Chain A
Amino acid sequence: MRVNVTVNGEPKQADDVWEGESLLFLLRERLGLPGSKNACEQGECGSCTVYLDNTPVCSCLVAAGQVQDREVRTVEGLADGDRLDPVQEAFVEAGAVQCGFCTPGLVVAAHDLLDRVPRPSDPEIREALAGNLCRCTGYEKILDAVRLAATRKADPESAAR
């Protein structure tokens, strides 16, 4: 089928799509957006997390045929031009990135958390990131990054420094 979908604010089209393939495959292999990562293909690891109609989902569990006329926002769509989103900046600065494979999914999940809960408690952060696996960092630096991003978003002055 021909899939029409809005991705990161732009209308996109892909032809000859097999409807049963995943949204993740559509993004990576047909639309040239490899930011979302392919690891478990069963919703266990969270590295393919994207927004679908403003809700974070595992893109490996969404059938390509289901995204017709819907809106997708990937990790590529978080930055404002060259200016990284505060969550992305905080991940870099806090050392929350090692091999980087889980990072896009974690960044999207953390981005959604801070949209819903501007000053999350540690249990809220842990709960929100429970579906994203990282095998490098031990998660402490990731928690640091989310706390830092929350502080910066609450006080944009400190982000400018």
Chain B
Amino acid sequence: MDFLRPDTLAEALALKAQRPDAVPIAGGTDVMVELNFDHRRPAALLDLTRIAELRSWDVDGGDHGDDHGTVRIGSGVPYTRIIDELGERLPGLAMASRTVGSPQIRNRGTVGGNLGAASPAGDTHPVLLAADATVEAASTRGTRLIPATGFYLGVKRHALEPDELITAVHVPTTRAPQQFAKVGTRNAMVIAVCSFAVALHPEQHRVGAAVGSAAPTPRRASAAEEFLSAELTATNQWDSPKPLPDSVKRRFGELVAQAASPIDDVRGSAAYRKHALSVLARRTLDWAWRDYSEKVA
């Protein structure tokens, strides 16, 4: 096995072009498990931890300190730093990051790795979908942006070409409420039985919603998004929010559950996942909407 240790992004992209079979490794929280258990013997590992360009974040379009702009997070920024440094700008992503593994795992693991592994259970995926994130992929041929909605293609499969590396994820900054919730047997070190994220987009009069660990890929709950967005707009709730009727919350939960196509496995049954998702959807919507009502008032 070759171990490639580029110091710069340009070097890394050149290596990946020469060796498309090289497996990128950053925090190692997924890749090393596969190596330790002999589940995988890649022909080459491409170590990304020495590349400074991947370990910083900045605000596209200038940081005005308000709710404008998009945060570009280098794919090598660990969860701990997202929680500490981006909690106010990106509340949903920070919330999901807090539920990842343990302190040791959050010190090493990265959103880039979550995307590269493309597990349907990855904790950050529902937030990235609900918050309209885009994935930045680069190769020696150039750089392109892939909307999160088009990134996940199947169980552990994504839209990258073999010569591409994930260099960053772009997430719009927001002051509007976002929520994430996850079901598991403990509050730490747990793979989601199912997870759910909701993001309010008041400026667009729209709600984003997505499920995790409940289908072959993380996915948007489009019908639930459309129902709730239409309902809120029709009743002029964006400008003068009122407590949401139970019937609206229940319908939203039902539509979220319908968006999922879960399986029965050791972590939970398909029926349980659907039920739990409808509960998570109602609950997180309630939290987000109360928060929004207080902000507008």
Interfacial residues, chain A to chain B (CB-CB below 8 A):
1, 18-20, 22, 41-44, 46, 49, 55-58, 60-63, 65-66, 68, 109, 112, 127-128, 130-132
Contacts and interface: CB of A to CB of B under 8 A. Distances in A.
A62 B36 contact: no
A128 B106 CA distance: 11
Given A63-B25, A65-B3, A43 B33 contact: yes
B103 A109 contact: yes
Contacts of A20: 1, 3, 35, 45
Nearest to B80: A55
Given A65-B47, A109-B103, A41 B37 contact: yes
A44 B27 contact: no
A43 B105 CA distance: 7
B29 interface: yes
Interface string B53-80: 0000000000000000000000000001
Nearest to A45: B189
A49 B105 CA distance: 10
B206 interface: no
Contact of B1 (A19, A43, A44, A46): A19
A109 B189 CA distance: 15
Contacts of B105: 43, 58, 61, 131
A37 to B, nearest CB: 14
Nearest to B98: A127
A112 B104 CA distance: 11
A94 B5 CA distance: 45
B28 interface: yes
Nearest to A67: B49
Contacts of B103: 56, 109, 112, 127-128, 130-131
B101 interface: yes
B1 A42 contact: no
Given A19-B45, A46-B102, A61 B107 contact: no
B7 to A, nearest CB: 11
A56 B104 CA distance: 6
A1 B102 CA distance: 31
Given A43-B32, A58-B105, 15 more contacts: A42-B36, A43-B29, A44-B189, A55-B107, A56-B104, A57-B108, A58-B108, A61-B33, A63-B3, A63-B25, A63-B47, A66-B25, A66-B49, A68-B5, A130-B103
Interface string B39-54: 0000001010100000
A3 B36 CA distance: 19
The 5 closest A-B pairs by CB, nearest first: A131-B102, A19-B3, A130-B188, A65-B3, A41-B36
A36 B45 CA distance: 25
Contacts of A66: 25, 28, 47, 49
B33 A41 contact: yes
15 contacts: A1-B3, A20-B1, A20-B35, A41-B33, A42-B36, A56-B104, A58-B105, A61-B29, A61-B33, A62-B32, A63-B32, A63-B35, A65-B5, A127-B103, A130-B102
A62 B25 CA distance: 10
B47 A42 contact: no
Interface in B102-155: 102-105, 107-108
B101 A131 contact: yes
B236 interface: no
A38 B122 CA distance: 26
A73 to B, nearest CB: 14
B193 to A, nearest CB: 17
A57 B106 CA distance: 9
B45 A57 contact: no
Nearest to A112: B103
Contacts of A55: 80, 107
B12 to A, nearest CB: 14
A42 B102 CA distance: 12
Contacts of A57: 104, 107-108
A138 to B, nearest CB: 15
A46 B108 CA distance: 13
Contacts of A41: 33, 36-37
